[in-house]
Structure 1
């Protein structure tokens, strides 16, 4: 458990203005991922804010620019005999195309009651700044960490982390570590510290029925020409039914393992629509251990100004979201075969996605983290085998071979990827305490690596 003076120092940082000032500087950088106009802001954030703060804490810092999205890589080496932690975060944010409240500027941090509003406050600047603050507080308290740290901050997570796997493979030695500790995504609830071990992944599925270059009069051609919109609607209905249940056996999730099922019994049940999804799974199992096929967009003709004509083309975008163990290499093949067997050869299919990954619940680092955090959070800790959303977890598990511990410092209602994004003060305070507990314990006992020697 944290010493009282260290706990008070952490609380004072969050509630006394230190974190607010640091977060305000971060939010002001308009680091929109994938936008060329955001590149100068990314540079300013990485080299003008993060790098100087890291150097003050004894890190060696370098900026790498193998492509349009730079990477910041920093090292603090205390003792090669002690474990090394890889910290990850991302500097980029989503755009602000969805209108915010008129009294809120997305690029100016605004304190309203017990919330800080601003783009990146929750995703992801506020989260990785809290983790770096935990290191700073521990150094001030002890004069050392008791472990080595590598910090990796990328700039394109919001557009799928292109280049991250290649960068990791090309800098394998510089990224060598014992464990990843990172913070992104939401807790299961604002008052429930959460440890998740991996994420589902997602494949975009494009369906296209392109039959003719123009529309045809519905009276003169109706009942004679094939309607691409009708064909597409029926094709989707043979892939997923009206209750959200996938009808493609090849896309089924692996059976839920008993340790996963046991862990999910302790997860608060998410809000869910009655009768929706696989009836054999609980809502928590559907979200964290199941596969889903969702319709994201569907179009033919002009729904706002319809005319009496059969459209020439209909298109849809679906998303197949899946857990580790799903063979994603055959998703397009499985969909093609399923549609062909039901007479939908006219529907073109494109699908691609990366493998999902997670660290097993039995991993020694997971057992160690739970042993530290469950008493420290007074039984409030929730352990998720996989987050429902998507993060580049596979880069760390598959490319770098690391166990992954994710401790999110946000909550489901934060407005992530939406308007009015915010971070509650109490979530930030509790999140800082939680990750500080983990770091303090690692500096003392060395984690499972030290304990096994």
Structure 2
């Protein structure tokens, strides 16, 4: 049995080393699946029709491209390979859409729609998020089938094409197709490893709520010389209101925004982690965030507030005038142990208590994903770590939840699944920015990990 496992892993290594992985991935990268631009639905559909469907059909998967319940959002692909109804069923998730290409902002010689390899970096839009990651999974499944003739388990795949727009329609789709998507566990790849050199198992994600704070005081702007000191300034008022939410080092000041879940058990898990984004990442500001927490606890065990954008006047053509209004788009990332239904109500109450009763608060675009966290003692979590250690000779880092947000709540809460995420990217990948890339070393290791895991699920489940 161990020889068969080693043979399959050697086969997937050869697939990468011979350049076939890059060749296949480039076909996916060439498809400009930008869900954030208008008139993208045809391109999003063609990605499924021309690329994923033939690849999956070839290995015995039945496929279906379904319209999104939200008519403004892209389609979803369901694939299914049922070998025996008595076998465990794995659900795979990924997303085919990418953020806008930002073609003019990439470094010279780089093209977001054509893979370029420089040293250990594979450049291209979607390499990290998420085409490279879901292709690692699909090609690993294919190699197990190719080498053994079967998986040894049932497999379902769900690929959406609207994740970069907030996964519109995904929740309704999964609720309406829950029988078709029923499984024993979700296994997916998205987001970064905690460290480029450390395989990582993620058990959940921080939740996300984006909201707008706005203040409108009067019609039109007024000369700052004639009216300065006589009429209130919305920019100053809004800035002070925001500064009442956190202190000068970003510590949260609203009591109900502080989670109650950072117990000793979670602290012990986080103590084993060390954040490292690689050479592309900014240095960690030790004097930012909750003062009594380690950097790792601030990301994986606590909540964080951010100001994403502010709108006041025209900074390129500044006038000597007091603006009539100001607004800011803000965000709270939150862990399990925070009541998501109380986030905005408690903010409104806080603002009134601080004297900012005229500031309006409302959810904004891509406003909400719920926090999730699987018990680290879960059977599938232990199996995954067992398999990775068997493949690499060392255990993976186990993260209670990533610092970012993924639609994990739809799988955990709507479909009632255990959820395991195995990321094949790293924090310095320039995701959502020019020069997006994945590391060749992580991609190759990701293929080893996923192929070994799928072989173990089908052939060597520990009792």
Q: TM-score range by the shorter chain?
A: over 0.9
Q: Distance in 1 between matches of 2:50 and 2:111?
A: 22
Query: In the alignment, does 2:113 pair up with 1:133?
Result: no
Q: Aligned to 2:352, what secondary structure does the other structure show? A: helix
Match of 1:77 among 82, 89, 108: 82
Counting matched residue pairs gives 448
Q: After superposing the two structures, state which structure 1 stretch, 372-381 or 315-324, moved more.
A: 372-381
How far, CA to CA, are the matches of 1:242 and 1:303 in structure 2?
24
Look up the SS of the partner of 1:80 in the other structure.
coil
The answer on whether the counterparts of 1:323 and 1:357 sit within 8 Å (CA) in structure 2 is: yes
- Residue matched to 1:442: 457
Q: Which residue of 1 aligns with 2:437?
A: 422
Match of 1:240 among 246, 252, 262: 246
Q: Secondary structure at the match of 1:338?
A: helix
Aligned residue among 313, 319, 334 for 1:301: 313
Q: 2:417 aligns with which of 402, 414, 418?
A: 402
Partner residue of 1:226? 232
CA distance in structure 2 between the aligned counterparts of 1:118 and 1:253, rounded to whole angstroms: 38
Q: CA deviation at 1:209?
A: 1.1
Within 5 Å, give how 1:315-326 maps onto structure 2. 315-326=327-338
Contact 1:288 1:384 in 2 (8 A): yes
2:109 maps to 1:97? no
What TM-score, normalized to structure 2? 0.93
Deviations 1:181-219 (A, max 9, x none): 000111112211110011112111211111012111222
SS in structure 2 of the partner of residue 135 of structure 1 = helix
- What do the CA deviations read for 1:13-39 (whole angstroms, capped 9, x no partner)? 112111111111000100001434322
Shift of residue 438 of structure 1? 1.2
Q: Secondary structure at the match of 1:119?
A: coil
The reply to whether residue 374 of structure 1 matches residue 379 of structure 2 is: no
Deviates more, 1:95-104 or 1:71-80: 95-104
Whether the 8 Å contact between 2:286 and 2:295 is mirrored in structure 1 is no
Deviates more, 1:400-409 or 1:360-369: 360-369
Match of 2:342 in 1: 330
List alignment gaps of at least 5 residues for structure 1: none
Return the offset for 1:361.
1.2
**1:146 and 2:158 correspond:** no
Of 128-137 and 213-222, more deviation after overlay is shown by 213-222
**Equivalent position of 1:350 in the other structure:** 362
Partner of 1:280: 292
Q: Which runs of 5+ in 2 are unaligned?
A: 277-282
1:256 aligns to what SS in structure 2? coil
Q: Tell me whether 1:48 sits opposite 2:47 in the alignment.
A: no
- Cα distance in structure 2, aligned partners of 1:185 and 1:247: 29
Aligned counterpart for 1:110 among listed residues 89, 111, 116: 116
Distance (Å, rounded) in 1 between the aligned partners of 2:220 and 2:39: 38
Does residue 387 of the first structure (1) align with residue 402 of the second (2)?
Answer: yes
Paired with 2:270 and 2:390, the residues of 1 have a C-alpha distance of 19
Corresponding residue SS for 2:155: strand
Give me the whole-angstrom Cα distance separating, in 2, the residues matched to 1:327 and 1:354. 13
